[in-house]
Structure 1
Amino acid sequence: MHLDRTLRTYAEHYNRRRPHRALALATPLVEARDPLPVSPRDVRRRDLLGGLIHEYHGVAA
């Protein structure tokens, strides 16, 4: 069960949320809206797999 969850989490990040060079560093997962400018202090990090992978998201000010 743990290995299955770990692999699913990694595959989701790799295939949907990771910036791809072939897409000009865009992610395959297309956001429904255009991103708004975010100041660095309004960015939050989400750790996946015990901190092995980090995803960054803007938060509402």
Structure 2
Amino acid sequence: MNTSAEPWVGTVRRECTNRLLVYNDRHLHRVLQVYERHYNRHRPHRSPDRQPPQPPHAPANLDQIRLQRRQILDGVINQYRRAA
């Protein structure tokens, strides 16, 4: 189980909790819930073409699209999507 859990814990610590001041258990659970959603839906992984486990749509040519930034966890993480 450690081979699965250790990379996850290391990633959460580096990208999320080391950058935040966590107030209490309730706040920690909320932060981890938001980060888990980001990790599983938006963050690239070590898969073919570095796609997240649940890719939202087919990749596009980024030179021809406008992007819109969305801040997650008060700006600790940024997500980018196509602008309408």
TM-score, normalised to structure 2, is: 0.56
Between Structure 1 and Structure 2, which shows a larger proportion of helix residues? 2
1:50 aligned counterpart, secondary structure: coil
For the pair shown, the structure with the greater C-alpha radius of gyration is 2
Equivalences for residues 34-49 of structure 1 within 5 A: 34-37=58-61, 39=64, 42-49=66-73
Residue 17 of structure 1 corresponds to: 42
- The percent of aligned pairs where both chains have the same amino acid is 38
How far did 1:44 drift?
A: 0.8
In the alignment, structure 1 segments of 5+ residues that lack a partner are none
In the alignment, structure 2 segments of 5+ residues that lack a partner are 1-25
Is 1:8 matched up with 2:33? yes
Aligned residues: 58
TM-score, normalised to structure 1, is: 0.72
How far did 1:29 drift?
A: 1.1
